[in-house]
Amino acid sequence: MEATHSASEQAQAMLGQLKRAGLRLTPQRLAIVEALAGDASHPTAQELFERLRPAFPTMSFATVYSTLDTLAVQGLVGSLRLGAAVRFDPNVAAHHHGVCDACGAVVDLPALPLSHVEIEDVRRTSGFAIRAEERTYRGRCGLCSEEPGKT
């Protein structure tokens, strides 16, 4: 598999797509895209809004949400629903997620994509056309499962 793109390359790709979608590239939208491109924590729109608000006091939550939503509709960012919250994901390669029971962190876990044969089998038997596969695993993240007290 190809190495993942750097955050700035990814931000550039997202910005090009927003432009093609007809959105003006305002400083606010630039900041939203750059904040998400470098963030592997799967932030919610609310979290990004609160992080950017000190720099952009006049920015509305609707601007943050609609920018992220446009990127998700275009397939440039992933979105996943955990409980009531929708989280956004700059990693669009096939992968699963691990959710930490202790701190709530959401981490990317590797996934082997389904083969064409498997996808064809599902389509033949059920008529369902698979686009993507996402699993959520529950457990403890690396930080929370570390043994305390080591020196």
Q: Which residues bind Zn ion (CB under 5 A)?
A: 89, 91, 100, 102-103, 105, 108, 141, 144
> Minimum distance from CB of 28 to Zn ion (Å)?
24
Q: Which is nearer to Zn ion, 60 or 74 (CB)?
A: 74
> Minimum distance from CB of 115 to Zn ion (Å)?
22
What are 135-138's contacts with CB under 8 Å, separation 24+? 135/96, 135/97, 135/111, 136/80, 136/82, 136/96, 136/97, 136/98, 136/99, 137/96, 137/97, 137/98, 137/99, 137/109, 138/98, 138/99, 138/101
Q: Which is nearer to Zn ion, 26 or 74 (CB)?
A: 74
> Minimum distance from CB of 2 to Zn ion (Å)?
17
Q: Which is nearer to Zn ion, 23 or 105 (CB)?
A: 105
